[in-house]
């Protein structure tokens, strides 16, 4: 018999090796630096709509999978009370040092998405940015998000759709040909279709409330030409096209099984 082909594995250990490159806007996370302003603005706008009578300083936000602290610091600079959680201790060390150097107040904790080091109902919001497609057990992570959210709290997310376009753009072009993303950062089979995410949200007791596309601000040919010249992507924008990356939020309710137990069965 011939050798059995195995699916490529995602390389989450890579983040332990990144070091100060987390904060290099021209380095391996250039795309994250270009995405960060638009998703930070979108999350801030969404939180303002969800909590119209509360100031950012009154809201506790958990940044799940915070890495080197790019989104955590952005939220903290807008006034939110931020706790960043990540399983990568070296990344947390970079995040803590950067926040201290720049006078930004963020609490960083070491922990897994599957067992968050936080009490029940302790956060008004959870941000899950560019992490869902890295998780082998998304259901358990969503259960933990539900657990740590206060009643009526919201999870704000962005992730990558599983489409032919995302395979072309995020795997073939970005990761294999142009190598602007570290090999093993993404595995296409772990990308999540919006309908699948909605179903998993619902089962976890998280009511989907919004979704939009997050796309390069320039047309794809211009982006490719810029990358070939060693330049950036040219920024991102919110749009209706969900075929590659998408962004949105959901609101805490009751888990599906609890609803069934409460409302039926007599």
> For the segment 65-116, what is each residue's pLDDT rounded down to a tens digit?
999 999 999 999 999 999 999 999 999 999 999 999 999 999 999 999 999 9
Region of poorest pLDDT, from 46-55, 63-72, 254-263: 254-263
Q: Cα(45)–Cα(226) distance, rounded to whole angstroms?
A: 30
- What pTM, to 2 d.p., does this model score? 0.88
Give yes or no for a contact between 32 and 130, defined as CB atoms under 8 angstroms apart: yes
- Phi and psi, residue 168, nearest 5°: -65, -50
**Over 50: is that where the pLDDT of 1 sits?**
no
How, if at all, do strands 236-239 and 206-216 pair?
antiparallel
Locate the domains of the chain by residue range: 12-254
Which pLDDT score, from 0 to 100, does residue 157 have?
98
How, if at all, do strands 206-216 and 245-252 pair?
antiparallel
* 95 Cα distance to chain centroid: 16
Q: Cα(257)–Cα(238) distance, rounded to whole angstroms?
A: 34
> For the segment 12-44, what is each residue's pLDDT rounded down to a tens digit?
788 888 899 999 988 888 888 989 999 999 999
Q: Cα(19)–Cα(174) distance, rounded to whole angstroms?
A: 22
Tell me the Ramachandran region of residue 217: left when phi exceeds 0, alpha when psi lies from -120 to 50, beta otherwise. alpha
**Over 50: is that where the pLDDT of 4 sits?**
no
**Over 60: is that where the pLDDT of 170 sits?**
yes
Topology annotation, domain 12-254: Rossmann fold (3.40.50)
Q: Cα(145)–Cα(204) distance, rounded to whole angstroms?
A: 9
Kindly indicate the confidence band of residue 184, based on its pLDDT and cuts at 50, 70 and 90. Answer: confident
Say which residue, 122 or 224, is predicted with more confidence: 122
Kindly indicate the confidence band of residue 264, based on its pLDDT and cuts at 50, 70 and 90. Answer: very low
CB atoms within 10 A of CB 233: 20
């Amino acid at each position: 018999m011939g050798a059995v082909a195995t699916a490529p594995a995602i390389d989450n250990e890579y983040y332990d090796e990144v070091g100060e490159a987390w904060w290099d806007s021209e380095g391996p996370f250039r795309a994250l630096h270009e995405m960060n302003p638009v998703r930070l603005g979108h999350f801030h706008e969404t939180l303002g709509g969800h909590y119209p009578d509360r100031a950012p300083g009154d809201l506790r936000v958990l940044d799940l999978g915070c890495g080197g602290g790019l989104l955590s610091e952005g939220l903290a600079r807008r006034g939110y009370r931020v706790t960043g959680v990540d399983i990568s201790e070296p990344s947390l060390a970079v995040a803590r040092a950067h926040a201290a150097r720049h006078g930004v107040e963020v609490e960083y904790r070491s922990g897994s998405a599957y067992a968050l080091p936080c009490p029940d109902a302790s956060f008004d919001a959870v941000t899950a940015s560019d992490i869902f497609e890295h998780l082998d057990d998304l259901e358990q992570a969503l259960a933990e998000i539900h657990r740590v959210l206060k009643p009526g709290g919201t999870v704000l997310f962005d992730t990558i759709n599983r489409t032919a376009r995302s395979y072309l753009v995020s795997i073939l072009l970005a990761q294999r040909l142009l190598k602007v993303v570290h090999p093993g950062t993404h595995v296409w089979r772990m990308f999540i279709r919006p309908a699948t995410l909605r179903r998993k949200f619902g089962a976890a007791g998280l009511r989907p409330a919004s979704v939009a596309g997050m796309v390069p601000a320039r047309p794809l040919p211009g982006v490719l030409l810029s990358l070939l010249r060693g330049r950036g992507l040219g920024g991102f924008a919110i749009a209706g096209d969900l075929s590659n990356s998408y962004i949105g939020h959901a609101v805490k309710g009751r888990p599906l099984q609890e609803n069934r137990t409460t409302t039926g069965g007599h």
